[in-house]
Amino acid sequence: MCNLYSIRKPRDEVVGLFGISRLDDGVQLELPAVYPDTMAAVVALDHNGARNLTMMRWGFPPPLSARPRPVTNIRNIKSSFWRNWLKPEFRCLVPATSFCEWTDMRPKIPHWFALDDTRPVFAFAGLWRPWRGERKGEAGDHRLFAFLTTEANDLVRPIHAKAMPVMLCDAEAWDIWLTGATDEALALQAPLAASKLNIVERNILADAVGQGA
């Protein structure tokens, strides 16, 4: 389960990479530690199919039978809980430069994973939804996101065997996730090849390496 990641790249670079048509006020791309229930940048489509870069809060409301904590990671996409949110209009991309997993055994040591030491931008395969209620002391309308996980690859598994986030690393995958048919999009729910991923930091709680916005 991934409950910590970073995004640290200049705003113009992210806008260009993802083909953003509208940049909302207040978008932050200088976030060395993004935790559940905090705000982060998300790429979502508007009603015309254009890509917007906006801020949303990390964590879907849980099913009524579950514990009352936000759902940050999505693994079982066959569940009826997710069926409606798999439509293209609710798919999103979550830009990131690294993510963190803790060792399964004690001592619990955080390990940061990135494409390489320069922290290229990738995206988590995300879903978003509107929701009305109270989050972090703020009552009203919210936009919430979570992202897909999959089985761990050979690099992540010795650290965290259960799962890793679905990482989309090129424009073709981003297009498929945002606009493709459901079966085509869900075919992306697979681990990134271990050869394309690196452990770039250990034993820290924020990945401060990289360019700021």
- What pLDDT is recorded for position 211? 58
d(CA 100, CA 102) in angstroms, rounded, equals 7
Q: Which domain covers residue 87, as residue numbers?
A: 5-202
d(CA 124, CA 126) in angstroms, rounded, equals 6
H or E element in which residue 45 lies: strand 39-45
Q: Is residue 93 assigned to a domain?
A: yes
Q: Is residue 207 assigned to a domain?
A: no
Q: Is residue 171 assigned to a domain?
A: yes
- What pLDDT is recorded for position 66? 58
Q: Per the structure, how many domains does the chain have?
A: 1
Mean pLDDT value across residues 190-202: 98
Q: Is residue 209 assigned to a domain?
A: no
Look at residue 213 and tell me whether its pLDDT is greater than 50: no
Q: Between residues 29 and 67, which one has the greater pLDDT?
A: 29
Q: Is residue 75 assigned to a domain?
A: yes
Which CATH number goes with the domain that contains 165? 3.90.1680.10
d(CA 47, CA 83) in angstroms, rounded, equals 20
Q: Is residue 36 assigned to a domain?
A: yes
> What are the backbone dihedrals phi and psi of residue 200, each rounded to the nearest 5 degrees, phi first?
-110, -20
Question: Within a 13 Å sphere around the CA of 149, how many CA atoms are in the beta-carbon half?
Answer: 20
Dihedral sign for Cα atoms in the order 28, 33, 37, 41: positive
Q: Is residue 208 assigned to a domain?
A: no
Look at residue 212 and tell me whether its pLDDT is greater than 60: no
**pTM, full prediction:** 0.95
Q: Is residue 213 assigned to a domain?
A: no
> Given strand 110-114, what is the order of strands in its sheet?
30-34, 5-8, 98-102, 110-114, 198-202
